[in-house]
Structure 1
Amino acid sequence: MSDLQRSFAKAKLAGLPFDPPMPSTDLPDEDEHAEEADYLKPLPDPTQDDDSSSASSASSASSTGTIRPSPSKHLFARPKGYPSLKKSLDPLPWNDYFSQECYWANHRPTESITHHVYFVPPIGKAPLLVMHHGAGSSGLSFALFSLEIRKALPNCGLLSVDARGHGETTVSSLEASPNDGDPDLSLEVLSQDLAEVVGLAKTEMGWVEMPDIVLIGHSLGGAVVADLAVSGRLGKSVLGYAVLDVVEGSAMDALQSMQQYLATRPKTFPSLHSAIEWHTRTRTVRSTMSARISVPSLMRRVPASSNANDDHDETWTWRTELSKTEQYWSNWFNGLSSKFLSANGGKLLILAGTDRLDKELMIGQMQGKYQLQVFPEAGHFVQEDCAEKTAIAVADFVKRNDRAALVLPPKVGQMAEKANGLK
């Protein structure tokens, strides 16, 4: 090599960097997007292992910057808490929705009753929402509703009762019962029970004065709260009342086929899961979540075998035999529309369809005597099927009638004095 060639080569080498560049470990943009797309796609079936997939995997493994995760790392496993595609039918506990479960004793001259209630005390001067369920149901039919309404009214109190003959409320008669031991479920007695439960809440909490009260009743419970409101037993503490999916006309018509409907229901279930499944499959309760809370409280366990050591041989049946309450049906709903329209306080009617309105309520609606909300997507148990919508409607109703939040406009004289003071 000539001296000229050596000089030229030295000059070229001197211009090169001292260390060669290391290969980049960052994925190109296109590879990043491709890997994101692969992550979002459904995972391939591990049982499929054809030649094309094997060749693709081998090619991918040999590519620079590609990482093959070990199957033992479970990188594609769903995180805990991810909702299962298959809905669970496991019962849910009451304490996810109420803070207290109470048994309040109430002694009368002819009977002793222990009221079973679910309770959340009000905070400060917030109102107390008193809830009464329908026939054959329980206080837990308002569980999901209670969870939702506390999002809108976090300080409000909640009192959801089990009526006599329902849930875990028990009655011990001190005299011979005219109903062969069955509880008296007449409207007058149920209304008195609800008033006394509110009084027991005042005693248990040590309230000097009763908080503002909003009565809420579903079906039979609607008839109970309307009767209690019109009776005036709770005085001026009642801000208003809400009746859920019951009106006199349609209720009286439905009673004609009630026994036929009850005859089609299963008498027993092999498990609580089976009872929950029946309620959701027949769309009696359209919310699986609510059914998991409320349905177990409707059932009682009946051992199907005399073998006490056999835990698996059992059945579940209804706590309340509705067919035995037929003597009270017309008593429950007769005069309901008139009571609803005439009692003092704000009035809210929530229905699953406008076809349920009878003539008296249609006239009252045109006269603006009450607020009407319709949820056509709901079944009869509107507070369970549409818990969030029902809670929003009730929360707006409470705010509209809340005396603590009511701000009156200044009087004309006060406005004139203020104006003169500014001059």
Structure 2
Amino acid sequence: MSELQKSFAKAKLASFPQEAPMSEPIASASEPQEEEGSSASSLSSTGTLVPSPTRHLFARKGSRQSSDSLSWTDFFSQELFLPEDVDGSHIIHHAYLTPPSESGPLFVMHHGAGSSGLSFATCAEEIRKALPKAGILSIDARGHGRTTITSSANEGGDQNPSLAEAAQYETEGQTELDLKLSTLSRDLVFVVRQTQQKMSWETLPDIVLVGHSLGGAVITDTAKKGELGPKVLAYAVLDVVEGSAMDALQSMEKYLSTRPTRFPSLSSGIEWHTRSRTIRNTMSARASVPSLLYKESDSADNNRPWVWRTNLSATKPFWEDWFIGLSKKFLEARGGKLLLLAGTDRLDKELMIGQMQGKYQLQVFPEAGHFVQEDQPAKTAQVLVDFYRRNDRSALASAAMKQAGVLKTNHSK
């Protein structure tokens, strides 16, 4: 990116909404700190934020309230449990939803590896502030959050499992996890179509696909295949490009080996995320981290019973499949294209050429970490809303009709 473009980006950033203060890293001699902008961390995902009577917005820094968890109900109006039997497995897809109103668009969100649908919670609320008629559908991918998968022979039971019950699926009746890119994009289409059916929408609303990290690869694959039809106006990829993602694979295992495997409490898990600056906003961590951990009922370590819900090391067989060919698909798929990055150094050659040719919109938030939608939710939301408006066909058609009317009037005169 040229110095002129960088200057333009900085000037543009100044016009965005102000964010809540980011959490400050807490120095600790006993805990190693991660490097900021670590390429390895770009493969894992986590995050969220927002205000309500339970959020203790004015709690003194360092107080216990700063690590209290927040509920998904602070951010979304409902949650969906969508059962499906496929390939010998019984899946209950889980998603968070705030339906659109009037003719508002639906932002369909897909999180990154190791994260959950709540990584978009704060950003979702900010989108609604900027565009009140917009709807948000944020899914939990299989093996993440509250989406559960068992063998069909063991299906039965509650269609709306509790978090504790969902955690039991980690060890009981579990089938081999399939996280191929084609499977994840198929799941995304299924959830969107089932949401349409459950909400009794005659047709789908206009859709903007938004994906962070792994989610960026999923929504790009979905856009490229075109299975949601012309209702997909545009798609936005957050902080992932093929080149840097493939490079990060080399250090991913080392990164995973250095992070804690267990926590003594949920609050300590939240604190670790902010202290390590994995999530740079305390309220974001308070909202999303609870969906990333669960308490073992029969723990091997009673002093640290909280463990990761998703075993990222077990996803290694799928890492290359997620990102190979991402840049080409991103440039070739139909619809408006947005790439939102935390740093210009992440651009690979193919995307640099595409950017110079004006094939997509590039936005850079240099002050954010990998989880840009969590670190900078209001700014991310404003970019996404502006992106939608630029690609809104109804607005473009209305403007064209008005222009035609003006020309006709002038001609008649």
User: What's the TM-score, normalizing by structure 2?
Assistant: 0.78
Partner amino acid for 1:149?
I
Does the Cα contact within 8 Å between 2:150 and 2:175 map onto a contact in 1? no
Question: 1:57-115 deviations in whole A, cap 9, x for unaligned?
Answer: xxxxxxxxxxxxxxxxxxxxxxx974424351100111000000111112225322111
Choose which of 314, 318, 328 in structure 2 pairs with 1:324: 314
Shift of 1:208: 1.1
Question: Does structure 1 residue 234 correspond to structure 2 residue 212?
Answer: no
Shift of 1:188: 0.4
Choose which of 212, 217, 222 in structure 2 pairs with 1:223: 217
1:7-406, aligned counterparts within 5 Å? 82-86=58-62, 88-174=66-152, 181-303=175-297, 315-406=305-396
Whole-Å separation in 1 of the counterparts to 2:149 and 2:268: 29
Whole-Å separation in 2 of the counterparts to 1:207 and 1:382: 32
Whole-Å separation in 1 of the counterparts to 2:299 and 2:348: 49
Gaps of 5+ in 1: 1-79
Question: 1:121-172 deviations in whole A, cap 9, x for unaligned?
Answer: 1101111000000000000010111111111111111000000000010112
Q: Give the direction of change, closer, same or farther, for the CA distance of 1:278–1:106 in structure 2 (3 Å limit).
A: same
Question: 1:209-233 deviations in whole A, cap 9, x for unaligned?
Answer: 1110000000000000000000010
Whole-Å separation in 1 of the counterparts to 2:299 and 2:288: 27
Whole-Å separation in 2 of the counterparts to 1:170 and 1:263: 26
Shift of 1:320: 0.6
1:38 is matched with none
Shift of 1:271: 0.4
Shift of 1:411: 9.8
Q: Give the direction of change, closer, same or farther, for the CA distance of 1:270–1:341 in structure 2 (3 Å limit).
A: same
Partner amino acid for 2:190?
E
User: What's the TM-score, normalizing by structure 1?
Assistant: 0.76
Does the Cα contact within 8 Å between 1:302 and 1:314 map onto a contact in 2? no
Does the Cα contact within 8 Å between 1:304 and 1:314 map onto a contact in 2? no
Does the Cα contact within 8 Å between 1:303 and 1:313 map onto a contact in 2? no
3-state DSSP class of the match of 2:269? helix
1:409 is matched with 400
3-state DSSP class of the match of 1:107? strand
Whole-Å separation in 2 of the counterparts to 1:413 and 1:131: 36
Whole-Å separation in 1 of the counterparts to 2:178 and 2:227: 20
3-state DSSP class of the match of 1:206? coil
Aligned residues: 337
Whole-Å separation in 2 of the counterparts to 1:392 and 1:302: 39
Q: Percent identity?
A: 59
Determine which structure has greater relative contact order: mean sequence separation of CA pairs < 8 Å that are 6+ residues apart, divided by chain length: 2
Does the Cα contact within 8 Å between 1:132 and 1:161 map onto a contact in 2? yes
Whole-Å separation in 2 of the counterparts to 1:278 and 1:262: 14
Q: Give the direction of change, closer, same or farther, for the CA distance of 1:416–1:211 in structure 2 (3 Å limit).
A: closer
Q: Give the direction of change, closer, same or farther, for the CA distance of 1:417–1:259 in structure 2 (3 Å limit).
A: closer
Gaps of 5+ in 2: 1-55, 155-173
Does the Cα contact within 8 Å between 1:303 and 1:314 map onto a contact in 2? no
